[in-house]
Structure 1
């Protein structure tokens, strides 16, 4: 958790080699439901999934090698992170470790970038604040994962991370 919080503070910038994904829009003529960020993953990409299995989904694209870090940075094809950023980290030890929300991505409780602090508190009554001032909560339905939130000065979610408690990618 502490590792994710620092990465979240970095705003999803390339920290330990990572970048964030974006969500594809569904045409109005189609009623296909957008995937939710949680409780186990984002669409076909699941927390804990090995790099090989995640690549086999066809939903991610490599962005940055791990180098000395235990993790590599990737993007979701449908939601690529901006230049110099990644959308998810894959750990050599634990697999898909952290997914950083991009515009249009929402948790099953409806929280995403731009949600208000009031909405986050209502959706997650167990929300806690770290000593560094980062809001975090265990993911409902998945006790092995967490959400972490950073807000704008206006009280809107500007960063949302979804990760494994045991992740080793960001610190």
Structure 2
């Protein structure tokens, strides 16, 4: 048996790197870099979220990605799901308040939290504590869905709303 794509043959079985699957590691386990709904996303492993390559230049969200999309393999071949756009007015503090008061779209709050924490080197200790509390509240919510727990939802927002 010939193993390809950087895999190793061990005891008659190809051990594939994360990006490849199959008997000889010939099946891609990633979404190719692509543009979707006006956002560019880099090559990403199945099951992981990618962040848009264009960064925000807005007062409260400067330097953060404008959107995220999850690499899915629901239909056989890997492809990005719908983009989830960061709402301009969201901060970790007001997301925590919206979740606590049971108002707002939990799915949008979950995706906005994900984008707001996408650059961990820029987070303060307070931001980390707040993000952990948001995750805990979301996971314990009576209204939690697989979309929220797995970040696999279908929320869309027009980028024009943030102009």
Same fold at TM > 0.5: no
Bigger Rg, which one: 2
Task: Indicate the structure whose relative CO is greater, using CA pairs within 8 Å and at least 6 residues apart.
Answer: 1
Query: Which one has a larger percent helix, Structure 1 or Structure 2?
Result: 2
TM-score range, shorter chain: under 0.3
- Greater per-residue strand proportion: 1
